[in-house]
Amino acid sequence: MINNALPAFLNSDSSLQLIFFGGKGGVGKTTCACATALQLATSQPNKLFLLVSTDPAHSLRDTYAGLTLPENLEVVELDAAAALKNFKDRHDQVLKEIAERGTFLDDKDLQSLMDLSLPGMDEVSAYLEIAEWLQLKRYHCIVIDTAPTGHTLRLLEMPDLVRRWLVGLDTLLAKHRYIRRHFTGDSRLDHLDRFLLEMDNSLKVMEGIITDQNCCRFVIVMLAELMSVEESIDLARALKLRKIPTSELIVNQLLPTSDCPICSARRNRQMLALMVAFKQFHEQQFWALPLLAVEPRGRTVSLLWTQAVQLSKIGQLSSSTYALPLRVESPCLLPARTAKLIIFSGKGGVGKTTMACATALRMHKQYPGLRVLLFSTDPAHSLADCLGIKIKNSPTQVLPGLDAQEINAEAAFDEVRSEYRDELKEFLVGALPNIDITFDREVMEHLLDLAPPGLDEIMSLTAVMEHISGGCYDVVVMDSAPSGHLIRLLELPAIITDWLKQFFSLLLKYRHVMRLPKLSERLVDLSRKLKALRVLLCDPDKTSIYTVTIPTNLALEKTSEMLASLHRLGISTKAIFINQITPENGCELCQALNRREDRQIKKAREDVLFDRQQTRVFLHSDSGGLARLDALGSSLYRN
């Protein structure tokens, strides 16, 4: 280990314009981002800094609670709905003009499409907002607290999505542009052409900055735990493919050497996980932050980087062979055999995947003959890491009668796009073989590129209905995306239904222009499954939601917010698993952590929505692999 140094992204002479903090949920991204923004602003009072959260479950202001921020630091928690409204208010007329020139839709149809609420706008709006801030050059540096891994990757993939939109919009203008040039000789760019060029230029500026190591840094934050390390490896690989610089890596909550058998056992696990990390990360500089008895919040955030230590090698393994025993208090009632859908929800990094896997194994054992599917909707899948077996995009057998699936939402929607284009080509060749409608064909080909973001995710979610209604499985146990994205996913059925209604009305109204029976059939099927899904989600006899949290102030507050959101959607939670509780023992650090956690759990109980079955799961040895997951499942539930 090397002391008395700081990570390069904190250098006041740095030319960095963007600093991303990313990684698996619950690793401390928000804390690191807040501490970095605060230190940069404090050390450079004559420069303006911006701290931004792109996570739907924001926690910047909670982390800064009670702390007076310097005047040169602005904090923004991006609101997707507000960003979309702002985008529409600014560009509604331009987009409508483009559509009017390039489609056969009338004013009423155009307005109804423009008025639709689009899901999935958190990543889109975040990317466009950041791109605009960079172009304005108001801030010396922007620090970004990202959503958990899967959705961060979607954020960084936004140029592809937005560029597809721009190609679609440019295609709408191509016909008008050709006619104007052919009949009037006028080839000048008008205000609509300039709008598209400006949008495209904004994307190019953003892409140029995020791939320049002098301007951008993506800091991966992880815990010294095997699942966190594995997800960080996947994230680093994806960032490298996109040529995004990742020269520093933060290992958070590292335990000190200790005579305490519990601390020694936990530290040994951390060192073993770091061995894997050091073998995989060759280009990154490792920095460690210690596990603190006092949760970093408010004033303590400003002291975070004074604790940083550069890691140059793995620490010594303790000779202790102490294994943390599995201890569960107040096990909850096992879901009934008649349950159809069991969803595990919670903040990232709290143990949803582990609980989902353990529950699927317990139900498989408890109810002989029950056909169980373990299903992941999290873009950063971790079922395979947890189970210790390779999981495919299609159902993969774990045990006879128990399958697992990690759905690839984007691939499923690409298949729909491909089918649509094939059907469109077949229709145009058969219906209009002797007529050249080049521009109209291109407009129709790009129609699905203008579909709302989030449609791919909801199509993957309706795969659950196929499994249940098709009779393939009796129950689906779902490992969901982190809380903010789960709420969005549960809101999607109603939003997508509105989009489908509008799309159906257009297909019906213009059936003499565009006859696409296969697409219509596919969308009718999607609409039917959405309706069935909405009914299933609100049926407490068939759908059970179990919330997983950990005993930190921030996690418990976010759990309360999620419970309120679920309640607003008419969805109730069966029970709450409070995971990773520190066992009581004579160690000073363990005692301090246990007291802190107990206070925070008691405070959380003041929330009326928190007053339900609570199962306490204490820190124990790694739950990965089928045998350990089976033991956990047996302890979590009573018959």
Work out the widest C-alpha separation in the chain, in whole angstroms: 88
**Residue found under tokens 């045990």:** 399
Q: Give the whole-angstrom CA distance, residue 390 versus residue 476.
A: 19
Strand-by-strand arrangement of the 543-549 sheet: 328-329, 614-618, 573-581, 543-549, 341-345, 475-479, 372-376, 402-406, 396-399
Mapping DSSP to helix (H, G, I), strand (E, B) and coil, where does residue 287 land? Answer: strand
Q: Give the whole-angstrom CA distance, residue 398 versus residue 390.
A: 9
Q: Give the whole-angstrom CA distance, residue 616 versus residue 35.
A: 31
Q: Give the whole-angstrom CA distance, residue 162 versus residue 398.
A: 39
Q: Give the whole-angstrom CA distance, residue 563 versus residue 571.
A: 9
Mapping DSSP to helix (H, G, I), strand (E, B) and coil, where does residue 168 land? Answer: helix
Q: Give the whole-angstrom CA distance, residue 378 versus residue 407.
A: 9
Q: Give the whole-angstrom CA distance, residue 379 versus residue 228.
A: 15
Using an 8 Å Cβ cutoff, are 53 and 77 in contact? yes
Identify the CA nearest to 420 among candidates 526, 349, 336, 317.
Answer: 526
- Cβ count within 10 A of residue 438: 10
- Which of the residues 13, 55, 89, 122 is marked catalytic? 55
**Residue found under tokens 């007076």:** 68
Residues 6+ apart with CB under 8 A from 233: 277, 280, 281
Helices (H), 569-604: 588-604
Residue 55 designated active-site: yes
Query: How many Cα neighbours within 13 Å face the side chain of 292?
Result: 18
Between helix 80-102 and helix 107-115 the angle, nearest 10°, is 160
DSSP letter assigned to residue 213: T
429: enclosing H helix or E strand: helix 409-431
- Cβ count within 10 A of residue 16: 22
Q: Give the whole-angstrom CA distance, residue 394 versus residue 396.
A: 6
Give the pair of three-digit tokens for residue 497.
């239904």
Angle (CA) 544 148 343, round 5°? 10
Q: Give the whole-angstrom CA distance, residue 548 versus residue 540.
A: 18
Residues acting as catalytic residues = 55
